[in-house]
Amino acid sequence: MMAQSFITAWLLPLALAFIMFGIGLSLTLADFKRLGKRPAMVFIGLLGQLLLMPALAFLLAWILQLPEPIAIGMLLLAACPGGTMSNVMSQLLRADLALSVSLTALSTIGCILTTPVILHLAIEGFGHTTAPVVNVAHITLGILIIALVPVGLGMLFNAFLPKPAQKLEPNFQRFSLLFLCVLVVGMVVKEWDLLMQTGVLLLCSALLLSFATSALGWLSGAACRADSPVTRTLCIEIGVQNAALAMVIALSFLHTPAYSVFAGLYGIVMYLAPWLLISLLCPPSRKVSGVNAPS
């Protein structure tokens, strides 16, 4: 019991802070200055990440009449935007990497305010007498400490030691993927019964949310007549979430492992929808254009 308490109270938050530090290594002040040149795309990206994604999740949970752990888990996942894997995917699919990284940073700042509120509304709407009480101030402070502060420290490291930061960044991306895999395996072992009872429903709801939000990102870019790299970025950024952050909140702040199940499954399947939509609607050319690379 003490070992489990140590893992959820200290080890998981520290590991997540380590990952967020890695995101900071990829950021510079120039990334934020560059955003002023295209405020419309930034606004659309943040609107999709912070508000439209949770709204779609709430709508799906209500329409599908999902059981409490899945419904609240879906809203928790939807309230955790960004993450380093969206930046990796943007690079692989030749999206606008500078916009992707900047949106990740801004959404991380924004979720300090939005995530606790959305989580509170989720538990009020779908929770029953067994649902934990959400301390909004406690979760806000927790996200500030394990998410925003490490990102800021990573940016400082990058500002003073840019060459070591560039060498270290890929290692943090690998650690992020490994950490998510460990969380997923732990979730499967801990919540095996819930997975067996709701496996098909979980998978269908995760895929539906992923395709709906990725398509929303794509349509947002197309409606604004954005160029292809920007449209790809919106498709990825709105559909790909920080599943690790959602799982750590469920385990370390809410102490309810069942709420981590949806995030764990979504963290596995969330790459399919953006890849498929981009491959079908606007496959990236083999030639790397200047707009795709961070400047």
Q: Is residue 222 part of a domain?
A: yes
The answer to whether position 180 is within a domain reads: yes
Residue type, 67: P
Residue 136: inside a domain, yes or no? yes
CATH of residue 199's domain is 1.20.1530.20
C-alpha gyration radius of the chain: 18
Whether the full predicted model's pTM is greater than 0.75, yes or no, is yes
Give DSSP secondary structure letters for 178-209.
HHHHHHHHHHHHHTHHHHHHHHHHHHHHHHHH
What is the chain's pLDDT, residue by residue, as a tens digit (295 residues)?
445 566 677 788 888 888 888 888 877 877 777 777 778 888 999 999 999 999 999 999 999 999 999 999 999 999 998 777 888 888 888 888 888 888 888 888 888 889 999 998 999 888 776 667 777 788 888 888 888 898 889 989 999 998 999 898 888 878 888 888 888 888 888 888 888 888 889 999 999 999 999 999 999 999 988 889 999 999 999 999 999 899 999 988 888 888 999 999 998 899 999 999 999 987 876 544 344 444 3
Contacts of residue 130, defined as CB under 8 A and 6 or more positions apart, other chains included, come to: 68
- Count of structural domains within the chain: 1
Task: Look at residue 31 and tell me if it is in a domain.
Answer: yes
48 part of a folded domain: yes
Output the pLDDT for position 219.
Answer: 94
pLDDT in the model for residue 131: 66
**Does any domain span residue 256?**
yes
Domain range for 255 is 11-282
Identify whether 290 is part of a domain: no
pLDDT at residue number 295: 33
Does a structural domain hold residue 2?
no
Question: Is 18 in contact with 151 (CB distance < 8 Å)?
Answer: no
